[in-house]
Structure formats: structure tokens, C-alpha cells
Amino acid sequence: MKRKYWVLLITCFVVLSLDQWTKYEVQQKLYLHQTIKVINGFFNLTHLRNTGGAFGIFGGERGGLGSLFFIVVSLIAIGSILLFFLKMKEDEKSLSLPLSLILSGAIGNLADRLFYGEVVDFLDFYLFSFHWPAFNVADSSITIGIGLMAFNLIFQDRRRSAKSQAPDPK
């Protein structure tokens, strides 16, 4: 089996296992909206539910057209990532990990939407009056994957530019 598929399988297994386990534990140990201070003034564990998209955008009531919209968008995103992954050339193998992280996160949050009609969030960071919207392991995986992909694409672009500007060794 090609390396990119091993990266995909291992990443999906690790991220989905960690994501679903942490969400399960939060639901078992914390009531909805209950908060446990971990680092005073910086980090809490808070059991929240997100009916919307990233950071609660377009959040509304549980179920209904909003939930269906996010399920359809998630399925399209997952299908697109898988298609891109399958068509990825050997010289693009550095995108295997970023795409696997994004895919794993999308599947983790889709599972929540299918099982609960909303996404379980619990990582709650803030600093003074600045409060970051609560998130979960799947969200973290998507964010890290996008960051790695951006870094990779910028680095590859610079490397291509340097090669095209290098003098011909003849």
C-alpha cells in the first residue's frame, strides 16, 4: 500500500478515536454548560453544543434545515477531499498529512451532527476580555491541517520560484 494511504488510515484512526473519546468523556462528566477551570484566566473545559458551523457561525436551533445544510456541506467537503487525495500525484505526497487531518476533523464533526444534531465542543480558551469560541479535537485537526497545507503550499511555491530563477548549469 502506498505511503499516502497509510498516513490517511493512521491519521484518521488517531484523530477520530481521540475526538470521539474526548467528546464522550465530556458528555459523561460535565453537564451541558458546566465549566471546569483548568488554567485560571486562560483555559476551561466547558461542555457546549454547536448547531452552526465553525465558531458557531450560522448557529440556530437544533435540527431542521440548518443541520441538513451542514451535513450536506460536510459530505461534499469529505467527498472532495477524498477525490483530491486519490488523484494526488507522487510529488504532492507532502499534502498527505494535512489532507488527512482535515478529512479526519470533518468526519469527526459530521459524526456528531448525525448522532446528536449538533457538535460537542469543550476546549474553552480566553485571555482577559478576549474569548475564543469553544472548539474540539476535530476542529483542532482541521485547523492544524489547513495551517500545514498553507505552509506546504507557500514553501513549495518558493522552492519552485527558486528553481526557475536558478542559472542553467550548462
> What is the Cα–Cα distance from 156 to 65, expressed in whole angstroms?
41
Q: What is the pTM of this model?
A: 0.86
pLDDT computed for residue 37 by the predictor: 97
Q: How is the chain classified by DSSP, letter by letter?
A: --HHHHHHHHHHHHHHHHHHHHHHHHHHHS-TT-EEEEETTTEEEEEEEE-SSGGGTT--SSSHHHHHHHHHHHHHHHHHHHHHHHH--GGGGGGHHHHHHHHHHHHHHHHHHHHHSSEEEEEEEEETTEEPPPB-HHHHHHHHHHHHHHHHHHHHHHHHHHHHHSPP--
pLDDT computed for residue 139 by the predictor: 96
pLDDT computed for residue 25 by the predictor: 98
Confirm whether 169 is domain-assigned: no
Confirm whether 31 is domain-assigned: yes
- Reading the chain (170 residues) residue by residue, the pLDDT tens digits are 688 999 999 999 999 999 999 999 999 999 999 999 999 999 999 999 998 776 556 565 555 556 788 899 999 999 999 999 999 987 778 899 999 999 999 999 999 999 999 999 999 999 988 999 999 999 999 999 999 999 998 887 676 666 666 666 66
Confirm whether 88 is domain-assigned: yes
pLDDT computed for residue 84 by the predictor: 93
pLDDT computed for residue 153 by the predictor: 87
Residues serving a catalytic function are 121, 139
Instruction: Please name the residue that has the C-alpha cell 477520530.
Output: 16
Confirm whether 100 is domain-assigned: yes
pLDDT computed for residue 67 by the predictor: 77
Tell which residue, 126, 133, 124, has the closest CA to residue 41. Answer: 126
Confirm whether 64 is domain-assigned: yes
Confirm whether 165 is domain-assigned: no
Domain count, the chain: 1
Confirm whether 127 is domain-assigned: yes
pLDDT computed for residue 164 by the predictor: 66
pLDDT computed for residue 68 by the predictor: 85
What range does the domain containing 112 cover?
3-155
Confirm whether 128 is domain-assigned: yes
pLDDT computed for residue 108 by the predictor: 97
